[in-house]
């Protein structure tokens, strides 16, 4: 097939990019070479629209062993242990084929983690769907949840936390973000950088088929009506093979046989071989006749671009081939020597004794375009001037019930019950709390992890929204008694060629950068997912933050369940009653305009660190951060979780009952303490200049506020569960 401009455009390349490729090569590429360029130069692999902005993020810190640029980030958790973690998107595939899209998303992120030598110990996910009324939502939700559970459960990895959101902006483009944490010894971390000349390049795992060809390019395209035609671009997962691959790789990693290892994820054999060679500043030679194929008559183009799952590429030390082969034979996996490293600095591919590709590595990797796209700033919206009369006919109890039944706030137990969250026996805080917590096996340490996003805040004002998502993650770590260590991010946005969307991305990123720097909460890995739109309708900007924290002694962990009658609940942080962009404004007042709540980074840090100190000193019985829905929703969740009621003190200097109880001011927590510790805790809070008040006293089964509110926990629990 003769390659021309039209074929290049069909491969997702711009006309200018095709021209640049011809200039670099000083000739027209053949179809296989074009395939390599289209894979390596698309948004998913090259980060061409985001690269210049991502460089600004803080990526180093005392505990950071490996920041962005590898398969996953790595942090030090003491005693020679390290945690490897990352979050990735699998949005487009999951919209086309929900079960397989979500399943292979989970499989892919787990491979990123065990490629680095770590055994996966926990999975998380953040999934966003269209309106609950939309005709596709139910099936998509069902398929995605089954896919996540199906893969993770078969691998025997617990799913310890997650997030499920609904918003009409995802009607035509759902989001499926999967996160994995793994445990590794500090001296046993493996990297993807190839080294040495004439070292054997090994293919292991499943056979290569025709599934998933152009998966990476499809992930960098906008959807239209021809969605069904894209099904062949979705990969098909097999968790049982992945489990064998995990065990075989970890067995080979015991000694120093492996020089470098890379999973075949997006763009399959293309990206794995080119990235390894590029990082090692050397060349690579492949013989495609040696690649194990499950289908007959596959072409070099298909073999190089297939995204069949459960495959790895390894550069071995010379003389270790037989030993490695024995291990992979034992686990019943394919093992083939398909090439070698060279000093040519090119990728050279042979098929049927002909050389079918010869391209310098740097053309595919370093020379990928880098765009500084035009972007538009989002103005801070003006605050809504609300006529206070709108509150006249509202009753606090009715508002509370309505908000608790909101699909974004109600219990997601019916979802996470489909995931195995206790397998391996180390989960000490299951889904449904502020963060999932998992014990580091055989030690007293525990790791907390959560995923958060806040699309409506980011949509209203991306800069503030970006800060908020990081702060929310930070508070979730603190609420379980963990010291926040680092984050991973999955940045889901619309088409970057539109100035508004690009602006949302740049400003959200700015917000993330500001908050991460201030809180000393570095970004160690991540992923950008652009082009999340259908027929010109993009999603709300949705940066998802995966936070990881450390608890040195798991016995000090706290949950949000209220513990004991007569204990005092303190409200930490100031309440101004910010209603704009709150669930109350949208659900009750039908108001969607206005700015998100302000972020005061000093208060976030100070309040959070003080609460953590109180937890570590043993004063706090339970804790919960206050986020969506405001004060009353947060306390209701604590009451339902602990099956206790609360007698609420009448608020002092009240702005207005509804703004006070349902406003979404940031930087706030609830903590439960014993009566006789009150004086001591007060003095610690005052000395740390933390604003607080006595919110109420724990009692039997009702939430009571003088003559304003009296409702049983049982009724609220029923409402939360049945929606």
d(CA 465, CA 541): 9
Q: Is the pLDDT of residue 654 over 60?
A: yes
Q: Residue 102 — pLDDT band, cuts 50, 70, 90?
A: very high
pLDDT single digits (tens) 431-486 = 889 999 999 999 999 999 999 999 999 999 999 999 999 999 999 999 999 999 99
In the annotation, is 578 catalytic?
no
pLDDT single digits (tens) 199-208 = 999 999 999 9
Q: Is the pLDDT of residue 682 over 90?
A: yes
Average pLDDT for residues 365-385, to the nearest whole number? Answer: 94
In the annotation, is 44 catalytic?
yes
The SS3 of residue 572 is: strand
CA distances from residue 109 to 88, 92, 436 in whole angstroms, order as listed: 6, 16, 18
pLDDT single digits (tens) 86-95 = 999 999 999 9
What's the pLDDT at 386?
Answer: 81
pLDDT single digits (tens) 335-351 = 999 999 999 999 999 99
Name the catalytic one among 90, 214, 421, 624. Answer: 90
Nearest to 174, CA basis, from 199, 204, 142:
142
Average pLDDT for residues 377-393, to the nearest whole number? Answer: 88
Average pLDDT for residues 52-66, to the nearest whole number? Answer: 97
Percent of the chain's residues with pLDDT above 70 = 97
What's the pLDDT at 468?
Answer: 98
What's the pLDDT at 442?
Answer: 92
C-alpha dihedral sign at 92, 96, 97, 99: positive
pLDDT single digits (tens) 301-347 = 999 999 999 999 999 999 999 999 999 999 999 999 999 999 999 99
Beta-carbon count within 10 A of 722 CB: 10
Q: Residue 498 — pLDDT band, cuts 50, 70, 90?
A: very high
Q: Provide the CA 41 distance to its chain's centre, in angstroms.
A: 23
What's the pLDDT at 56?
Answer: 96
Do residues 495 and 541 touch, judged by C-beta distance below 8 A?
no
Average pLDDT for residues 368-377, to the nearest whole number? Answer: 96
Mean pLDDT for the chain?
94
CA distances from residue 566 to 129, 569, 669, 682, 698 in whole angstroms, order as listed: 42, 9, 19, 17, 5
Per the structure block, which two tokens stand in for 598? 């302000």
Average pLDDT for residues 151-162, to the nearest whole number? Answer: 94
Do residues 370 and 51 touch, judged by C-beta distance below 8 A?
yes
Q: 44 vs 356, which has greater pLDDT?
A: 356
What's the pLDDT at 229?
Answer: 56
Phi, psi of 66 (to 5 degrees): -140, 125
pLDDT single digits (tens) 392-418 = 889 999 999 999 999 999 888 888 888
Percent of the chain's residues with pLDDT above 90 = 87
Q: How far apart are the first and last CA of the chain?
A: 56
Do residues 18 and 9 touch, judged by C-beta distance below 8 A?
yes
What's the pLDDT at 536?
Answer: 81
Q: Is the pLDDT of residue 652 over 80?
A: no
List Cβ neighbours of 188 (8 Å cut-off, separation of 6 or more).
Answer: 117, 253
C-alpha dihedral sign at 559, 562, 565, 571: positive
Please tell me what DSSP assigns to residue 227.
G
Name the catalytic one among 44, 53, 128, 461. Answer: 44
Q: pTM for the full model?
A: 0.95
pLDDT single digits (tens) 534-564 = 888 899 999 999 999 999 999 999 999 999 9
């Amino acid at each position: 097939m003769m390659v021309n401009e039209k074929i290049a455009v069909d491969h997702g390349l711009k006309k200018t990019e095709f021209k640049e490729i011809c200039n670099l090569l000083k000739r027209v590429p053949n179809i296989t070479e074009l395939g390599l360029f289209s894979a390596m130069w698309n948004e998913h692999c090259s980060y061409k629209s985001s690269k210049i902005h991502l460089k600004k993020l803080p990526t180093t810190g005392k505990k950071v062993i490996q920041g962005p640029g590898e398969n996953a980030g790595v942090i030090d958790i003491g005693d020679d242990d390290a945690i490897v973690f990352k979050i990735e998107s699998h949005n487009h595939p999951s919209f086309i084929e929900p079960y397989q899209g979500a399943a292979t998303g989970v499989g892919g992120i787990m491979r990123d983690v065990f490629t680095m030598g770590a055994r996966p110990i926990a999975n998380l996910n953040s999934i966003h769907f269209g309106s609950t009324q939309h005709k596709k939502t139910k099936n998509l939700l069902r398929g995605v949840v089954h896919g996540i559970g199906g893969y993770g459960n078969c691998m025997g990895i617990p799913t310890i936390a997650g997030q499920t959101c609904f918003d009409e902006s995802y009607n035509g483009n759902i989001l499926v973000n999967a996160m994995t944490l793994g445990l590794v010894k500090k001296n046993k971390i493996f990297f993807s950088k190839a080294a040495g000349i004439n070292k054997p390049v090994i293919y292991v795992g499943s056979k290569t088929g025709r599934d998933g060809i152009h998966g990476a390019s499809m992930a960098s395209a906008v959807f239209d009506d021809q969605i069904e035609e894209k099904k062949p671009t979705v990969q098909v997962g097999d968790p049982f093979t992945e489990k064998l691959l995990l065990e075989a790789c970890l067995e080979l990693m015991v000694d120093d046989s492996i020089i470098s290892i890379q999973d075949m994820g997006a763009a399959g054999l293309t990206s794995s071989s080119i990235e390894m060679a590029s990082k090692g500043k050397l060349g690579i030679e492949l013989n495609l006749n040696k690649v194990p194929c499950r289908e007959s008559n596959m072409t070099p183009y298909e073999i190089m671009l297939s995204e069949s799952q459960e495959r790895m590429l390894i550069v071995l030390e010379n003389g270790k081939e037989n030993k490695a082969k024995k291990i992979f034979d034992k686990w019943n996996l394919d093992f083939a020597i398909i090439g070698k490293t060279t000093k040519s600095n090119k990728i050279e591919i042979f098929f049927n004794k002909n050389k079918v590709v010869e391209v310098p590595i740097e053309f595919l990797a370093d020379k990928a375009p880098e765009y500084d796209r035009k972007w538009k700033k989002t103005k801070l919206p003006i605050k809504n001037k609300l006529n206070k009369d709108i509150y006249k006919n509202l009753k606090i109890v009715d508002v509370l019930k309505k908000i608790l039944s909101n699909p974004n706030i109600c219990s997601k137990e019916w979802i996470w019950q489909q995931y195995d969250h206790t397998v391996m026996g180390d989960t000490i805080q299951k889904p449904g709390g502020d963060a999932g917590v998992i014990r580091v096996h055989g030690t007293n340490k525990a790791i907390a992890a959560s995923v958060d996003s806040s699309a409506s805040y980011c949509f209203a004002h991306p800069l503030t929204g970006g800060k908020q998502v990081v702060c929310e993650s930070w508070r979730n770590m603190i609420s379980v008694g963990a010291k926040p260590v680092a984050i991973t991010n999955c940045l889901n946005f619309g088409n970057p060629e539109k100035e508004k969307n690009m602006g949302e991305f740049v400003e959200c990123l700015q917000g993330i950068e500001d908050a991460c720097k201030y809180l000393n909460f570095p970004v160690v890995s991540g992923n950008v997912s652009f082009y999340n739109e259908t027929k010109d309708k993009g999603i709300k900007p949705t940066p998802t933050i995966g936070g990881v924290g450390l608890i040195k002694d798991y016995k000090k962990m706290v949950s949000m369940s209220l513990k004991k009658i007569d204990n005092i609940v303190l409200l930490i942080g100031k309440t101004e009653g910010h209603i704009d962009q709150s669930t109350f404004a949208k659900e009750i007042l039908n108001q969607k305009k206005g700015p998100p709540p302000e972020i005061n980074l000093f208060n976030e840090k100070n309040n959070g660190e003080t609460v953590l100190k109180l937890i570590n000193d043993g004063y706090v019985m339970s804790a919960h951060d206050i986020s969506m829905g405001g004060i009353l929703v947060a306390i209701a969740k604590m009451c339902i979780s602990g099956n206790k009621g609360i007698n609420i003190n009448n608020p002092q200097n009240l702005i207005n009952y509804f703004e006070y109880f349902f406003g979404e001011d940031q930087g706030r927590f609830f903590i439960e303490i014993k009566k006789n510790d009150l004086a001591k805790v007060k003095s610690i809070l005052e000395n740390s200049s933390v604003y607080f008040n006595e919110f109420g006293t724990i009692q039997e089964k009702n939430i009571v506020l003088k003559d304003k509110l009296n409702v049983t926990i049982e009724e609220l629990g029923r409402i939360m569960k049945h929606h």
